[in-house]
Each structure stands twice: as C-alpha cells, then as structure tokens.
Structure 1
Amino acid sequence: MTTPIRAAAPTADPTDTDFDAVVVGAGFAGLYSLHKLRNEQGLRVRVLEKGSGVGGTWFFNRYPGAKSDTESFVYRYSFDDDLLREYDWTTRYLEQEDILAYIHHVVERYDLMKDIRLDTEVTGAAWDESRDRWTVRTAAGEEFTCTYLVNGLGLLAKTNMPDIPGMDHFEGRLVHTNAWPEDLDVAGKRVGVIGTGSTGTQFIIAAAKTAENLTVFQRSPQYCVPSGNGPVDPAEVAETKKNFDAIWTQVRGSSVAFGFEESAIEAGSVTEEQRRQVFQQAWDRGNGFHFMFGTFSDIATNPEANEAAATFIRSKIAEIVEDPETARALTPTEPYAKRPLCNEGYYETFNRDNVSLVPVKENPIVRITPRGVRTADGVEHEVDILVFATGFDAVDGNYRAMDLRGRGGLHINEHWADAPTSYLGITTANFPNMFMILGPNGPFTNLLPSIETQVEYVAELIESAVARGRAVVEATSEAETGWTATCEEIAHMTLFPKTASWIFGANIPGKKRTVMFFLGGLGMYRQILADVRENGYRGLRITEPARAAVA
C-alpha cells in the first residue's frame, strides 16, 4: 500500500531556527527522514545540506562512469507502492544522472524542498542538558535548535585525499572524484588516476574511451567481475513491477539485499568442474555481490571456497589481458574479501593502446611534479589532469570532522577514542536524542533497504518519545559495548578482516583498523531490531524531559 500522509506541517518560515528535528544531509537517508518525520508525524523539521543541490553522494560524485552497482529494480525506495510502480528504469544499472533525476522526482512528489536548506554546511552540534535540546551550528555562523538530531551524513561522503609531496605545485587540473567540476572534460587529454577501487575502476573504463592517454596508478589490484549492464526491455520492467511485493519481501529478509536469492550450497559440496560452471554462469550474468553471495554460501567465510572463486577470477584476468606483465600486475593475490566489484570491461580496458598501468606498491609515487607524477624508478608521467579516486574516510569520517559534543561537552572523538561504535548502528551513548542513519556498525548491504529500515526505526523512536512529552532517548554504554562485541564476533567469522580495505578503515593512514559494519545481513538485523522493540526497547534509556524543556 501507499504510505499514508497523516499530517503535514505548514510551509516553514525560512527564518525559523527552532525545530522538533534537524536532519543533516539531503541524500537518500535525509530525504526519507524528512518525509517520515514531517509528512507522516507532523513534526517541524529542517534539513541542512552542505551542497547546492539534493542527492548527497550522487550530487557530488559526477565523475565520468559514475553509476550504482546495485541493479536498478532494487536501487530505489520501497516505502511507497505507487512510487515503485510508477517510476521506470531502462538499464540494468542506473547512471549518476538517472539516480539524481529519481531523487529530484521524490523531492517533488513529497514536497520536500520547502524544508531543505541548501549550501548550509553543519560544522558542529552540542547537547544542552538543561533544556534537552541540540544546538546545531553551520559554517556561516548560524545556529539551529532542535529536540531530535538525525544525521544522514553519508557512509561514503568524507573525501580521502592523500598527502603526496608536490601536490600544490601541479600545473594541470587536480581533482577528487567526490568533487568533480562540471566544466571538466577528459576528452583528448593526458589523464592520470590514482586509485582502483569501485570509483576508480568506473572512471578508468569511461575515461579510457576519450582520453588521449590514461595512466593508472594502481595501489591494490582488484577482483572485478562483469556487471552485465545493458538496456532493459519494458516488458521485463513491467513484469518486475508485478512481482515487487515478493521481491521486496525477499530483499528485507535476505543477507545483502541485492534482489537475488543467496546461495545455500557450499562450494566444497560439488565437483571442481561444477564449481567452474557455476562461476562461469555468474560471470556471464554479472554483478559483484551475486558472484560472491549468489554462487556458493561460503565464499565469504571458507578459505577454500574463497580461493576457488579467486582462482576463477584470476584465470579470467590471464585470459583477457594481452600483455603478460600487465596481467600479472592486475592479478590480486590476497583473499577475495573486499566489497565485491563489477564493471563493464575493466580488464579489457588495459588492452587499449592509450592505457598504461603503474603498480605503485612496486614502484611508489615519490612526488607530484608541476607536469605530472614522478615514481621511484625516476620516470615522470606527464599528465594534464590528475584524478584522485582515493575514496572516503568511510562511516565515521564526517562525524569526526564536526565539533560534535554530547553530555558534559564530550566530543565524539573522545567517545570514539578507541574506535567508532554504536548501538544498532543508530545511536551512541552520551549523545542523547541523536540518531545516525548508516552509523558505525550498521548493516553491510545494498544501502537503500538499510536506510529505509533505520529511518523507519528512528522515526518510530521519535514518535514514541514525542508521545511521552518529548522524552529523551539514549543508548546505554552496556548496550553499545554488547553490540560492538556482536559485530566483531560476526566479522571475524568471515574473511573480510583478512584484507586491508575501507570496510575496516585501512585506507586512511593512521586510522585504526576496526570493525565498522554488522555483517550478519539485513534479515538478521531487522529481526534484532524487532526483538529490541518487543522487549521495551532494550538497551535504550528513555527518560522524561528536563523541566526547562517542558516549560
């Protein structure tokens, strides 16, 4: 059914600074939070967004090749049946501009723009214990106050820019993919790119088609499988829409929430020939998460099964890449245990005459020169455009960048001195009435179903607290410690900690490697949330508001 709009707040005065809730960020999480809290619960809400447009990650990441690697039919909101059935898609994966168009449609459909302040970067927030209120500060020196603070800061939003000597002296264009200028075109240019993660591989494939030459500075070789991207027939779209009820029931009860049935068959239970057939079928079908989780049930947990999958992908690299030395440098040797990638012809790109590979673990970058990049072998790689596809300070980076203070002026960096932690990925002790969407130790899945799950839970908590006279909601330290232990236990049942990746913060120099996700799957996560609710919101302290706040 379509979610009913039970109550709507009047159009907000743009000069207002006091609200029931302030939402930070106008990406998928922030927009749905606004809809839930304002349209359904009738609260006065203001969204503060640092960008000059809505969309969050998809507003800033406009680099060539940017797209979702989640299939189109499940990379969308599911809360409104009419929205699901009315909005079409034409390709198996959505390009950045398609996603942004969808987001704009949602904003217009639910009349969200009137309560969104663009070009408003939040730089700090502090909890006032005498009034049970948050004071939220912006880069322009403005202050907003609210009872409930909802952070949709973005899981992958805080830019990671390495510190390489000479960067200030580069005479060409130096950009990060998370801040791609609208006027920048790589066609006919000499382009260098540092980084070969999800963003880097997407950019490499796209840029190679138009650049005069492309030099890829590879930090770590990647396991990439085909995406299987292409046009989707309207008849297939119509059939998928008919099955949306079953599809979304499966998604919410699944592990990775990517819209396919995850395998229940162990790799060791079939013959080597049968395993290769299964891998080949998955290779032909496309999608990284399907290759890891839809082929066999134990690729992420069993070293032998994992090595079988890795060996198959390595054999494909050897088959595809024509130059033996390039193939060697592109071939990973560590376990297949990072966020799985998929692309349209990644390895084939290195057969192009205008593409060259520099493996910087073997031949490190020494410095950026005015004309390009000098490596340890003394070669200066001249480029007109130098692109940093170096990813993000994921999960907690944007929180730590703020002057965020809870009880007694406690800074978030003090609270997270050992590691970023939470209760359920939603709240953290000593920061009352503050909620996080995709906070530390939230579920590792297709993000939109997790966003919806958490926004709905947070909205339910706020609705309950408002009904109790604007009660204060806070995680207990014991609950946070227990949830952290649960996430660590599950993570170490997998092979993911065996590799250095952003999933554990290993991409940031000096950052402690730690568990930052709940790897038990969305279905299990939703069961845990339901159990917490059924047991009186176990682990949450819900107290009456301070008298000053009531008065």
Structure 2
Amino acid sequence: MTGTTPTETLDAVVLGAGVAGLYQLYQLRKAGYKAKIFEQGGDVGGTWYWNRYPGARFDSEGHIYQYLFDEDLYKGWTWSEKFPAQPEIERWMHYIADRLDLRKDIKFNAKVTAAHYDEDRGRWLVTTSAGDVVDAQFFVSCGGMLSEPLRDLFPNKEKFKGQVVYTSRYPASGIDVKDKRVGVVGIGATGIQVIQTLAPESGHMTVFARTPQYTLPMKNPAIGAAEGAAYKARFGEIKSRIVDTFCGFEHDFDRNWVDLTPEQRHAHMVNLYEDGSLKFWLAGFPEVFTHPECSEAVSEFIIAKMSDRLKHDPHLLDVLVPKFSDYGFGTARVPLERDYLEVYLRDNVTAVSVKHNPIVGFTEKGLQLADGTEHELDVIILATGFDAGSGALSAIDVRGRAGRSLRDEWNKDIRTTYGLGKHGFPNLLTTAVPLAPSAALCNMTTCLQQQTEWITGAIDDLKKEGKTTIEPTQDGEDAWVAHHDGIANATLVVKTDSWYMGSNVPGKPRRLLSYIGGVAVYKDKCNEEAAAGYPSFARA
C-alpha cells in the first residue's frame, strides 16, 4: 500500500463492533484518543449480529454477560430470562451503543481488508471494503474468537437446486421449513440449537452427525421484576467475583475429586446437573481436565443421563452419545440444550452418522455420502463451525515489520504474547486471539473487558512515558508460549480433536487455542506484566 493517500488519520483503528470493540472504543474515546470502529456488518453486535439462526442464545447467564464498568449502565437493562435469546441480546447491544453514544464513531458495512505497518513512520495503514484508507498509530483487533466461518467444506454446492444457508450468516427474515425436507450438517453447540428449534417445524429433518457431543440440559426460567432487582442488587459482588474464577463465570470449583468419597462425588454431580447450566462443567471438579479417573466417572455419569433420555435406542446411542474411549467430558466445548435429545425420538427426525461415511458433496437433489447414498433435501443448513481464535485476523492481509504476513506466520505456528500481541507486529493489540482465555474457556464479557482495559492502560502508559510503539519481544513470546503449553499439555484437552485445538480446520497448526490456567491467573499475570513495566514487550 506504499504511496496510498489516507482518507482519515486516527490514533487507533478498532476492528469490529462486538462486545470487545464497543468497550474498547468507549475507553479510548474517554481517554482522549481519536478512535473509530470499522465493522463489516450493518449494525453493532458482533457475533450477535451475524448469528441469527433459530435458537441462538446465551449459555452464560445474562446477569454476568454484561459490562461491569458502570453500575448505572448495568442496572439500566433487565433480561427477560436466565439465558436470553439472540433478538434480546441484539437489543441489548443497541442499548449499549446508544447509551454510550458510540455510533458516531463506528463505520458499518466497512470490512477491514488489509492492515500494513509502516516501519519508517511507526504507523498502520488500514484499508476497508468501503474505500477507507486510514492512517493510525494503533490497530486494535476486536474481531471475535468465532467470527470467521468455515465455508466450502463440501464441493459442488452450486449444483444443489434447493436452499443452502450457513448458521453464521442466517438471513434475518428466517427460512420457511414447513413441509420441507431439512438437512442440518453439524451437531456442535450451534447445530444443537438449530436442531432443537426447527425440528418441530420441519416437514422432515435429517441431521448429519460426525462427532457425538456430551451435552447438558439448560434450565431457563423467566426473569421478572423481583428477580431482576435481586441480581442488580448484587452488582458489586458479581463484579468482584467473576474476574477471580476459573472461567469468568460466577460459579467456580469449590471441591476436589480426590477429597470426596464415591458417594459424595455422585451427590455433587447430581446437584450440579440439576442446576441446568454450565456449572456442572466449570464448577464441578477441576480434575475433570487432568485426572483420567475423574474424567471417566464424570463422562459416564453424563453418558448415562443422555442414554436414558434417548430411551437407550441403539442407533441413536451410536450416533449421538460419546464414548469415553474417544474423549472425555469437558475436553471439548460442552453445549447447553433444551430437549435436544428428545427431538430424535420424533417421527420426522433422522440421525445419520457421517463419522465413517462422510459427506462427499452436494448433488442437484441434496447431499451424497461416501458410500453413494444420496439424501434428498429442500433446505440444507450448515452448522460447520469457524476458524476459531486466529480466523478473524487471518482473513485480513495483516503485515508487520518487513512485510511479514500474520496469516503466514499463524499458518506455521499459532503464537502470541498473552493473546495481546504478536512479535513482529508493533502497535497491533489484540483481543480474543489464541493463547488467552478469551479464545474459548471464558465468559466472553469477563475476558474481553479485562483485555480491552489492559490495552487501554498499555497505550496510556506509552503516552505518559513519551513512547510511541509497543511490540512483544521474541523472548517474551517464547516465554508465554512455553508457559501456555506447559499448562495445556498437563491436561486431557490436548488429547481431544476439537476446534479448541484447531483440529476442525484442515492444515491448522495444532495448539490449544485458549489459555487454560484460569481467568484469575491470566488476569494477575497481565497485571503483573504492566506493573513491572512490560518486560515482555519492546517499547520505544
């Protein structure tokens, strides 16, 4: 982009108008910096703008999936249920943008296509699909950890005469599935939400399932005036609590597997299961991530629950229920669901395993499997996942010192420093990228608030010291990667193929994307880094 004339000069370009981007813009603007968000979508919301598929909702409790920097902002919104659905979440995002008057500094329908660092000037040149060419000191990525969908996994899509839609780009107007043959590909968290919601409306639904999932039932009570007032009264407690737990939720591990008798372990699991939340996973036993005996017992408990709900149907058990010999509970993303398993007991739903008989492509009439079987369909819904963590920035032509490509570097090895920056890319500050809890194992608002606050503090510290650039050193990056891998490799998570390990993306380097040392530990390490004068970063 040498010789390109900028159309705008800023202190900071912020990528994305989701949870992280909105708060990052607010902070930078409040601190006196000239900043602007460039957003691919037509409005605020990030993942909650794009993911409009039927059944999309929180699996974090609404009262903790909020900004906690302003008590009045927090108390000015009341959720209608414990786990709100996408339309309500999107309205909340609009409330935030309007209450903080953020829209005037957001450009919508402007996808960032390239960001190149100019070493001579120490500044970034950022271009967008809308024709913007922005000169900025800082490029702050708030593109999200699940925002770059995997496409074109199956050939010949153009041959299919029916309708094909990705859950990640589901039309806001919805799709009429009444009396239609609907195929859903994928039974991860998104696929589960779609299946349980659309199955009763469909003429017939065929679910193409590859990897069976451990699931937990969701209990989703309505929130009335009294319930809303009760959680708002606990604002201070919630704010201080969630930053010091393992996954940024209000609940946390409070007992160890090794300290309990078999009877106590079982009673604890029953109690956690009845909560109807992710508490069973993220506040059960910490050893579920590290201890094979604990992992097996917890897995078998869930397997038994799922088997009972499926009426012990041999075919459904084979297609939908994991085997501990394949992987243990909690070592991959655990979806919350509402009567999802019961859907398969309906006469209009068929479960098809594609684990050993994969989909080979589209036909004019539907989808064909490796053995030649053709499934005739009218609508195909692809819940095929994302290039997690690294995908948002890898989709952009990001170039640092000497023209080095971030995409090329991450295609070789997934590395960052605290998930906040990358060696060779000065003044690129990042959220929700690999090697931080926000890449998977965190209530997103908890971790994204912490990361954006750290970024604002780092920029402020530069300004106070009369410096203009910050970049992770090679030694700093090496140290963080070693620390991250040391913790990760002591867990059972790295033995499981899932998007947590990047296994869903062909050719993606294998590394646990999320820091698994815990949200509280991560926060403390980031704070220690800043307090010590940023020893893992070169600043000039």
TM-score range, shorter chain: over 0.9
More displaced, 248-257 or 185-194?
185-194
Correspondence for 2:3: none
CA distance in 2, matches of 1:486, 1:345: 41
Please list, as runs of the form range in 1=range in 2, the aligned pairs for 1:80-119 lying within 5 A after superposition: 80-119=70-109
User: Does the CA contact (< 8 Å) of 1:195 and 1:217 recur in 2?
Assistant: yes
SS of 1:146's equivalent in the other structure is strand
Please list, as runs of the form range in 1=range in 2, the aligned pairs for 1:168-247 lying within 5 A after superposition: 168-188=158-178, 189-247=180-238
User: Does the CA contact (< 8 Å) of 1:25 and 1:48 recur in 2?
Assistant: yes
Superposed CA RMSD? 1.5
CA distance in 2, matches of 1:348, 1:271: 33
Correspondence for 1:316: 305
Correspondence for 2:249: 258
Q: Deviations over 1:297-329 (max 9, x none)?
A: 311111111111110111112211133221232
Residue type matched to 1:410 in 2? Answer: R
Correspondence for 2:515: 518
Q: Deviations over 1:376-421 (max 9, x none)?
A: 3443211111011011001111212211111111111343353221
Correspondence for 1:463: 460
Matched, 1:359 2:353: yes
Residue type matched to 2:237 in 1? Answer: A
Equivalent of residue 23 in structure 2, options 32, 38, 42 = 32
- Tell me by how many angstroms 1:233 deviates: 3.6
- Tell me by how many angstroms 1:187 deviates: 3.1
CA distance in 1, matches of 2:467, 2:183: 54
CA change 1:468–1:534 in 2 (3 A) is: closer
Equivalent of residue 531 in structure 2, options 529, 534, 537 = 534
Q: Deviations over 1:323-369 (max 9, x none)?
A: 32212321101211102221111211111111110010133223211
- Tell me by how many angstroms 1:461 deviates: 0.9
Aligned length: 526
CA distance in 2, matches of 1:262, 1:244: 21
SS of 1:70's equivalent in the other structure is coil
Identity %: 35
Matched, 1:406 2:400: yes
Matched, 1:271 2:243: no
Residue type matched to 1:293 in 2? Answer: L
Equivalent of residue 156 in structure 1, options 137, 141, 146 = 146
- Tell me by how many angstroms 1:516 deviates: 1.8
Q: Deviations over 1:235-282 (max 9, x none)?
A: 22212211121122111111111111323221x433333322222222
Correspondence for 1:3: none
SS of 2:232's equivalent in the other structure is helix
Equivalent of residue 350 in structure 1, options 344, 349, 354 = 344
CA distance in 2, matches of 1:326, 1:515: 30
CA distance in 2, matches of 1:125, 1:200: 34
CA distance in 2, matches of 1:525, 1:99: 27
User: Does the CA contact (< 8 Å) of 1:127 and 1:431 recur in 2?
Assistant: yes
SS of 2:14's equivalent in the other structure is strand
Correspondence for 1:441: 435
SS of 1:150's equivalent in the other structure is strand
CA distance in 2, matches of 1:236, 1:130: 57
Correspondence for 2:328: 335
SS of 2:201's equivalent in the other structure is coil
CA distance in 1, matches of 2:256, 2:226: 32
Matched, 1:304 2:293: yes
CA distance in 1, matches of 2:321, 2:63: 32
CA distance in 1, matches of 2:173, 2:74: 34
SS of 2:288's equivalent in the other structure is coil
Residue type matched to 1:200 in 2? Answer: G
- Tell me by how many angstroms 1:470 deviates: 5.1
Q: Deviations over 1:144-203 (max 9, x none)?
A: 110111011110000112421321201111111110012332431211011111111111
CA distance in 2, matches of 1:414, 1:202: 34
* TM-score normalised per structure 1: 0.93
SS of 2:87's equivalent in the other structure is helix
Matched, 1:43 2:36: no
Correspondence for 2:389: 395
Equivalent of residue 74 in structure 1, options 52, 60, 64 = 64
CA distance in 1, matches of 2:359, 2:137: 49
CA distance in 2, matches of 1:508, 1:249: 37
Q: Deviations over 1:467-505 (max 9, x none)?
A: 334521111011011101111111112111111111110
Residue type matched to 1:159 in 2? Answer: P
CA distance in 1, matches of 2:11, 2:384: 38
- Tell me by how many angstroms 1:32 deviates: 0.5
Correspondence for 2:413: 419
Please list, as runs of the form range in 1=range in 2, the aligned pairs for 1:504-515 lying within 5 A after superposition: 504-515=501-512
CA distance in 2, matches of 1:371, 1:484: 48
CA distance in 1, matches of 2:411, 2:302: 39
CA distance in 2, matches of 1:213, 1:171: 18
Correspondence for 1:494: 491
Stretches of structure 1 lacking an aligned partner (at least 5 in a row)? 1-14, 544-551
User: Does the CA contact (< 8 Å) of 1:425 and 1:441 recur in 2?
Assistant: yes
Correspondence for 2:50: 60
SS of 1:490's equivalent in the other structure is helix
SS of 1:298's equivalent in the other structure is helix
More displaced, 512-521 or 220-229?
512-521
CA distance in 2, matches of 1:93, 1:43: 36
Matched, 1:451 2:456: no
User: Does the CA contact (< 8 Å) of 2:146 and 2:386 recur in 1?
Assistant: yes
CA distance in 2, matches of 1:281, 1:489: 33
CA distance in 2, matches of 1:115, 1:293: 37
Q: Deviations over 1:65-94 (max 9, x none)?
A: 001111111111111111112211120101
User: Does the CA contact (< 8 Å) of 2:310 and 2:316 recur in 1?
Assistant: yes
CA distance in 1, matches of 2:81, 2:504: 32
Correspondence for 1:4: none
